[in-house]
Structure 1
Amino acid sequence: MSSSASTVGVTAPAPNKVRAFLRLVMIEHSVFALPFALIAAFTAMWIDSRSVHWLQLCLIVVAMVSARTVAMAGNRILDRRFDALNPRTGRRELVTGVLSLGTAWRGFAVALVIFLASAAALGWLPLLLSPVAVGLLILYSYGKRFTDFPQALLALAQAIAPVGAWMGVTGGFAWPATALGLAVGTWIGGFDLIYSCQDAAIDREIGSRSFPARFGIASALRWSTITHLITVACYVWFGVAAGLGMIWWVGLAITAAVLAYEHTIVKTDDLSRVNRAFFTANGFVGIQLFVFALADLIAQGLRP
């Protein structure tokens, strides 16, 4: 019997829906915003009681990851037609059919339930504000349809994470949380300005609005630099307002150097290293700044 005949009636294994959904929402990219929610949580715990509240910390991690999953799933669902028209995004799971739209909606719903439940477990104020957070996250997905400034909507949505984490610990508002929220929002909004430059031409062609598509790549890179200067200023504000020490300032100096490096490797006429700036440099920023912040808090008396 020939090998071709022996394979008759054999069907390819069905793709793993969970794995495909996690690829769709790029779950590993939680590394960008999660460290800053943890910085807010640990700092609030240090100010509040000098000790780690482990249950609250676990709930904050669950809330953060599930909220990001809601945002990414919603974005992929709403943008699937734009993604199909863009060669860079044309291999995404909803475009190729690896993941069905129904499965994506179910994943979205599960993540939303988990987020709301974790917010409720953290207290009435996080639960009360959770619809605002979800609304802003989803609004960003619609942004490219009605504004040339979707990165501003992204910045606003991402700024909520540290503020929410702080409220989850203390049950109230504080200026250090605001400073950290603004730092995170401008940081992510600034590097999304860089990332979106690679789609400027195709965005104009398919009618997807963005800052680079409207004002040009050179202007986008210039405003990304200005935005990241504001980021560093907000990190300084946070360090002063929270009373952090020398270890934090060393970490912040490294962060400023990495951001400066990021802006030297992406040029108006050379976007070939956008992914290095977006994924490698920014992933490093989140992790190393969290490590230095935690080390500083431990040195100043934070107990397990």
Structure 2
Amino acid sequence: MAEPNAYALPDTTGHWVIRYSPEAWRPYLQLARIDRPIGWQLLLLPCLWGAALAGVAAHRAPDLLQILLFAVGSIAMRGAGSTFNDIVDRDIDLQVERTRNRPIPSGRVTRKQAAVFLVVQILIGLAVLLCFNHFTIALACASLVIVALYPFAKRVSSWPQAVLGLAFAWGALVAWAAVFGSLAWAPILLYAAAIFWTIGYDTIYALQDRTDDAVVGIGSTALFFGDKVRFGVGALYAVALALAVGAVTLAGGGVWAWLGVAAFGCHLAWQVFRIAPESTTRSLDLFRANRYAGLMLFVGLAVQALSDRL
């Protein structure tokens, strides 16, 4: 049996999912990024924001069953998106140090096998989606167009992170729609906040690949901002915070919601001051730290919704 680390990517070496899973499962777990949970966590957080903001507006606690469904759906659809991305990017991944050991470019999974696995994950996501109202189902399905465009964005634009933001933030709209069966300005502003937040943290993530991306000829906001990347991320985060303030204002947020917004803003500011473009380790750590930034906003909104109900 091959050693688990033979299949490890640079930032997941020794992950317990790889160590303890059957050898035949490992390439598929890596395709779905199960060994890198930060991806589905960041996809889930806008869903949590939307559910909690809807709770604030409706003066009711967030629905725990809906939150569980969002979690399952986030894992499945993040895996599907990553699998599709790897199918499309197989040649580019082979030229980038951080990605050349992914399952498809390394030859551990064929394109056909990856395509079958993609369909399975989409079906799981669809099964989750059918638990919601018709408006929410239609709204969620519309996001698939953006997801399909994302792998191609970096070939024609320096802002592929913006397309990722449009896709990753969609859960804010879906979660609100799951409660009200419609949209309003509050979730739209929250969606916009999540877009700018995503562009910001994915710019930090892209700092790891600036050299390889420049050689291969693909775009990223990390390359676009160049030496002004700290200013660029700071501006993106400032817009995200301002939009979050607008969303909470329209939803009628109280003191707990504002504490959540304040904590979110402080964490974003801390990230900006900590950016070190030359350090891949620092970039990865700051990227992952966004799970805590997102949770701070969610907790504030959720506690507000609970306190309004009491």
1: CA distance, partners of 2:86 / 2:260: 34
Q: Which amino acid aligns with 1:246?
A: V
2: CA distance, partners of 1:194 / 1:50: 36
Matched-pair contact (CA < 8 Å) for 1:194–1:274: yes
Farther off after superposition, 41-50 or 201-210: 41-50
Runs (5+) with no aligned partner, structure 1: 1-12
2: CA distance, partners of 1:204 / 1:113: 37
Q: Percent identity?
A: 27
Once the two structures are TM-superposed, the CA of residue 14 in structure 1 deviates from its matched residue by 6.7
Once the two structures are TM-superposed, the CA of residue 188 in structure 1 deviates from its matched residue by 1.0
2: CA distance, partners of 1:282 / 1:56: 23
Please give the secondary structure, in 2, of the residue aligned with 1:233.
Answer: helix
2: CA distance, partners of 1:180 / 1:216: 25
2:149 pairs with 129, 139, 148, which one? Answer: 139
Once the two structures are TM-superposed, the CA of residue 66 in structure 1 deviates from its matched residue by 2.6
Q: Which residue of 2 aligns with 1:6?
A: none
Matched-pair contact (CA < 8 Å) for 2:204–2:284: no
Count of matched residue positions in the alignment of Structure 1 and Structure 2: 287
2:193 pairs with 183, 186, 199, which one? Answer: 183
Once the two structures are TM-superposed, the CA of residue 274 in structure 1 deviates from its matched residue by 0.5
2:44 is the counterpart of 1:34 = yes
Farther off after superposition, 49-58 or 79-88: 49-58
Q: Which amino acid aligns with 2:33?
A: M
2: CA distance, partners of 1:274 / 1:50: 38
Q: Which residue of 1 aligns with 2:287?
A: 278
5 Å matches for 1:1-304? 15-17=23-25, 19-27=26-34, 28-29=37-38, 30-48=40-58, 50-213=60-223, 215-279=224-288, 281-301=289-309
Matched-pair contact (CA < 8 Å) for 2:96–2:212: yes
Query: Aligned-pair RMSD on alpha carbons?
Result: 2.3
TM-score by length of 1: 0.85
2: CA distance, partners of 1:52 / 1:190: 27
Matched-pair contact (CA < 8 Å) for 1:149–1:211: yes
2: CA distance, partners of 1:210 / 1:228: 17
Once the two structures are TM-superposed, the CA of residue 270 in structure 1 deviates from its matched residue by 4.6
2: CA distance, partners of 1:53 / 1:196: 35
Once the two structures are TM-superposed, the CA of residue 231 in structure 1 deviates from its matched residue by 0.8
Once the two structures are TM-superposed, the CA of residue 124 in structure 1 deviates from its matched residue by 1.7
Matched-pair contact (CA < 8 Å) for 2:62–2:305: no
**1:250-296 CA distance string (max 9 Å, x none):** 222222121111112223455541111111x2121122322222122
Please give the secondary structure, in 2, of the residue aligned with 1:88.
Answer: coil
1: CA distance, partners of 2:192 / 2:135: 20
TM-score by length of 2: 0.84
2: CA distance, partners of 1:134 / 1:73: 14
**1:79-113 CA distance string (max 9 Å, x none):** 12111111111222222234443332222111212
Matched-pair contact (CA < 8 Å) for 1:83–1:89: yes
Matched-pair contact (CA < 8 Å) for 2:206–2:220: yes
1: CA distance, partners of 2:77 / 2:203: 22
**Cα 1:294–1:85, aligned 2, differ >3 Å: closer, same or farther?**
same
Farther off after superposition, 226-235 or 199-208: 199-208
Higher alpha-carbon Rg: 1
Q: Which amino acid aligns with 1:25?
A: A
Once the two structures are TM-superposed, the CA of residue 119 in structure 1 deviates from its matched residue by 2.5
